[in-house]
Amino acid sequence: MQHLEPKAAYEFLKDNPEAVFIDCRSEIEYFFVGHPTRAIHVAWQEGPNWAVDPQFVAHVKTAAGMNRPVVLICRSGNRSMDAAQVLEAAGFTQVYNVLHGFEGELGENHHRNEKSGWRHDGLPWEQS
């Protein structure tokens, strides 16, 4: 797995149109907090029990196949790193994790989007 800062991930996606950009946060986060433009939603975990989706790898295979680069993003870069490790164990060879995720680390007041992340860096995103 390779790690990319948000701006580097954005450039990588522009330079590699065959890459599949997967937002692996929960459905609620994806739709109500917003998501990077061009990202497709494949949840790593969902509430209420937050268990890992046993079909996650199968869903990514459907979306990307096995030979395309897969770029994963979550809220802060932690879940996407766990998901990336599972994809690599399943045979994916071009897996990228977006460091700091969509919202970044907590700031001094325990708020996100203050220090780092996709939105903090002013990269394109949408809310649906």
pLDDT at 68: 97
Cα–Cα distance for residue pair 118/9, rounded to 1 Å: 9
Listing DSSP states for 65-88 in one string gives TTTS-EEEE-SSSHHHHHHHHHHH
Peptide bond into 17 cis (omega under 30): no
In this structure, are residues 102 and 73 in contact, taking their beta carbons and an 8 Å threshold?
yes
CB 32: neighbour CB atoms within 10 A?
A: 11
Q: What tens-digit pLDDT sequence spans the chain (128 residues)?
A: 999 999 999 999 999 999 999 999 999 999 999 999 999 999 999 988 999 999 999 999 999 999 999 999 999 999 999 999 999 999 999 999 999 999 987 677 776 676 789 999 999 999 97
User: Residue 114 has what pLDDT?
Assistant: 66
Domains and CATH numbers, the chain: 2-126 (3.40.250.10)
Q: Which pLDDT value is given to residue 72?
A: 98
